[in-house]
Each structure stands twice: as C-alpha cells, then as structure tokens.
C-alpha cells in the first residue's frame, strides 16, 4: 500500500520539490499549506489541504483523513531580513506552528518527523567549515526560531519516543531540471533568482548588499545546494528515522563556498547576459562566510549532492526564469 506523507508547506519552493521527489519514489505526498507564501499550482502530486499549522484540529483531521504515515515539516516564515522587522510573527508562526504539529503527531501516534531546519541556527561561526558540533548561536530571529524548534523536538523525542531528523539546509538554490518548479517567493529575497531577474531586465540594477565583508572579494560566501539534492535528503531522512529512535541533525551542504560576485559571474556565463550592479549596505543577520561540513549526512544518511555544482544550479534556475522573467 502506498504510504501517505504529510508535507506542511508543500506548496512552497522546497516543499514542492520534496513532493515531486516523494511521488517519483512511490509515496503519496499530502500537502498542508495555507498559501500565504506557497502557490497552489505547485501542488501536482497528491491531495491538497488548505490549513494553518497552528490549528491542531486541522492537522489531526488531515492526518486521520489521509492515513498519514510520517510528516515532513516545511511550513514556516523564512526571510532572515523580515524576521528582524516582524520577530513576534516569526515566533508565532514558526515556533507555535511546530509545537502544535508535534502535539498533533503525538495524539495521532505518528512516530516519524523530518524537520526543515537551517544553517541560520549557527550564526557567525568561528571554526569553518560548519559541522553539527558547531556552537548553536543564531544571530537572527529566524535562526532563533529554528533553534528553539530543534530543542523542543529533541525534548519531545525523549519524552514521547518518536523519531525526528532536522535537516539544516545551507543555501537552497536551483530548480527542477524539467522546468516544472522554481523559486517564486513574493517578494523574492534569494540571490540567484534576483540575479537572473536582473539579467532578464536590461534596465534594472541588481542591488549587491555588502561589499566590505572579510572575504576574498568583499562579498558574502555561501554554500549553495541544489533543491533537488535537498529533496532527496528528506527521503533518506525518513528512512533513517523509521529505524533509529530519538533526534538527530544533519547539515545539507556541499562543503564548497561561492561569493556573490562569483555567482554573478557564473550567471553571466550561463545566460550570455551582463548584469548591472549597484553596491549597497550589508543586510542585518548576514555572516560573511557560511560553508557546511556535510560529512555526517554523507556517512549516516548516505546522501550525496549530485546536482549541486554551481553551473547546474544556475542553469536549472535559468530554465524557468529565462521563460518567466
């Protein structure tokens, strides 16, 4: 019998790619999303429930109606900059939503939960690359919400005897290679879509936030991971959590970093276009250098980021944005 997996936030960027991967591996993804940030036309591989993760009744009804086996929790507010402007909203949605989901899982006797977490839990790390043993010291409200969720889930696993995996994404990027899915945030804050949109509009300037970081060219360095590789990691995490009790966390990154100027250069090479750049101030909450040590995920989950070379990431994103500027 086909297993039904509840994917909260499944109409969003990462959630929709996870649903695509689940369906291609014989699962039935059930999307639970209130569409405040997601898009209903991203729901293509299973049932859709319009619901808020802070509603325990809606969660329990969905779990019961669709005979849910396991849960992947992606629903969240996830803009670092916005979290400084609306910190309480981030705590209300992210933390209360996660706690409500955990309670629904407990009441419905579900034993497996995979959490969408973030490298934002680390903040500015002194020792690089960042391992799971690095100090948890988030520097943004968004990062703090993710850290609190991980701590609460750890305690819940100990008390309620269920299994949970937190996947700490570094910079999710790229798009489905067939052009069916891509980043469509409103407003868009992620680097690669904004670069590609700037390249598509010859009259526009791309705002480069921060050129005075302590890096080789003065711009932030990040570890970019293809969203398809991230989606595949969720399936591996589900399988691992099924047979390993308790809480565990894994970094999802490549171990290699690229500066913003290097990403701009790659995008210009892929598209054959030239970006007009306007230099601006740093954004709050941006550490200068953030690169993962992914050894734990590779060793334990047997995960390999096979699509995450920077040319593939930019090329796959351009397949969508080249047609939809």
Catalytic site residues?
A: 142
Give how far the C-alpha of residue 228 lies from the chain's centroid of Cα atoms, to the nearest Å: 11
Report the chain's C-alpha Rg in angstroms: 19
Residue 109 region by backbone torsions, left for phi larger than 0, else alpha for psi between -120 and 50, else beta: left
Asked whether the beta carbons of 22 and 30 are under 8 A apart, the reply is: no
Beta strands in 145-228 (DSSP E): 163-169, 171-173, 206-209, 221-222, 224-226
Report residue 34: phi and psi, to 5°.
Answer: -95, 0
Sheet holding 289-290, edge to edge: 258-259, 221-222, 289-290
Residue by residue, DSSP assigns 48-97 as EEE--TT-HHHHHHHHHHTTEEEEEE--S---HHHHHHSHHHHIIIIIIH
Q: How far apart are CA 277 and CA 30, in angstroms?
A: 42
Greatest Cα pair distance in the chain: 57
Cis peptide preceding 129, ω within 30 of 0: yes
- Residue 167 tokens read as 């996947």
Angle formed at CA 34 by CA 32 and CA 40, multiple of 5 degrees: 80
């Amino acid at each position: 019998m086909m297993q039904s997996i509840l994917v909260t936030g499944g109409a969003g960027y990462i959630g929709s790619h996870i649903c695509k991967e689940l369906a291609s591996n014989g699962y039935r993804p059930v999307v639970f999303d209130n569409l405040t940030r997601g898009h209903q036309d991203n729901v293509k591989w299973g049932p859709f429930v319009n619901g808020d993760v802070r509603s325990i009744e809606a969660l329990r009804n969905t779990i019961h109606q669709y005979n849910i086996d396991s849960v992947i929790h992606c629903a969240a507010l996830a803009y670092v900059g916005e979290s400084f402007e609306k910190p309480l909203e981030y705590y209300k949605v992210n933390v209360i939503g996660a706690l409500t989901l955990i309670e629904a899982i407990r009441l419905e006797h579900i034993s497996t939960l995979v959490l969408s977490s973030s490298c934002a839990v680390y903040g500015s790390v002194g020792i690089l690359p960042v391992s799971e043993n690095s100090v948890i010291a988030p520097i943004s409200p968004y990062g703090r919400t993710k850290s609190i969720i991980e701590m609460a889930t750890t305690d819940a696993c100990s008390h309620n005897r269920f299994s949970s995996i937190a996947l700490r994404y570094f910079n999710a990027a790229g798009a489905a290679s067939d052009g069916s899915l891509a980043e469509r945030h409103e407003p868009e804050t992620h680097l690669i879509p904004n670069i590609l949109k700037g390249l598509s509009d010859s009259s526009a300037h791309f705002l480069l936030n921060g050129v005075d970081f302590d890096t080789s060219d003065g711009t932030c360095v990040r570890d970019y991971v293809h969203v398809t590789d991230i989606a595949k990691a969720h399936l591996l995490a589900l399988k691992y959590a099924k047979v390993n009790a308790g809480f565990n966390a894994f970094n999802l990154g490549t171990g290699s970093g690229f500066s913003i100027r290097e990403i701009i250069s790659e995008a210009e090479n892929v598209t054959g276009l030239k970006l007009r750049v306007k230099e601006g101030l740093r954004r709050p909450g941006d550490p200068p250098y953030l690169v993962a040590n992914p050894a734990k995920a590779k060793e334990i989950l047997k995960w390999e980021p096979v699509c995450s070379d920077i040319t593939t990431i930019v090329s796959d994103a351009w397949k969508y944005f080249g047609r939809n500027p």
